[in-house]
Amino acid sequence: MTRLGQNSVARKRLYNDSWWRLATILRGSHVNVIFELPPRPSFFDVLDSSLLAILPSEAVALTGNWLPATRRAHEPTAYQETGACFDREVIDVRWQGTLTCAAPICVVTFVATDSQVYWVKSPSPASDRLPVDISLHTYADDADGRATLTAAIGGGIGPPGVPVTHQRRQAPGCVITSSPLKTTRVERLVTATGASVYVLILLREWLKTGRKRLWHVRGEIAASLPPEVRDLLLQRRTGTIA
């Protein structure tokens, strides 16, 4: 192997090791990372105030672990530009856990960036234990500090993945909250550099399942909500907030 090839392999190994070290660091109780957070969307304050005015809050526990894994994948762009397909190593860092409540719950997942908020309702039926899957994906040879953050909570498909940034050979800017969670208000679940994941957890007793197993708040609750909140909690399975 040429010296250039040896240097490339060494750089890739160092970068891969850094992501494995990240998973080890994040298992600890203290992580010192500075984040460039997008502001909390003002719509969340409207959600909180309108729901907390008519519904009580219940405690929800979040438990889980980082599960690092490395896989190889094809890069279609390289195939189109060069006419030859080759493997690029993809680094996947995943956090898997569970939301647990004393009563069955459903959840609305929000992924917020500087310019957009994507949201998805968890599928029915409700459960007192909902799965949480948070993933960071990046290419091992990407020197620009780019990664993709995805979140699937409650089963099914989550909001679309969004770009975040990280510092090479350091933590990529993603930490799962250790704060206690409550129903009936929008809680930040994931803190990332350039994006955040929030959840709105609701008890099943406040909900009703309609056609195509799409849940919505009960009519007597919806009648007390402002129109923009009522639209989100009564209709559609997914959407965006500008």
User: Per-residue pLDDT tens for 18-29?
Assistant: 443 443 333 333
Report helix, strand or coil for 74. strand
From CA 93, how far away is CA 26, in angstroms rounded? 11
1-15, 31-45, 214-228 — most confident range: 214-228
Rg (CA), the chain: 20
User: Per-residue pLDDT tens for 117-170?
Assistant: 999 999 988 999 999 999 988 877 777 778 899 999 998 889 999 999 865 544
Domain segments of the chain: what residues? Answer: 3-241
Q: What does the pLDDT read at residue 168?
A: 52
Q: Report if pTM > 0.85.
A: no
User: Per-residue pLDDT tens for 30-67?
Assistant: 344 555 667 899 999 999 999 999 999 999 999 999 88
Report helix, strand or coil for 98. strand
User: Per-residue pLDDT tens for 81-127?
Assistant: 666 666 777 778 889 999 999 999 999 999 999 889 999 999 988 99
DSSP-derived secondary structure for 146-210: EEEEEEEESSS--SPPEEEE--TTS--SEEE--S-EETTSEEEEEEETTEEEEEEEEEGGGEEE-
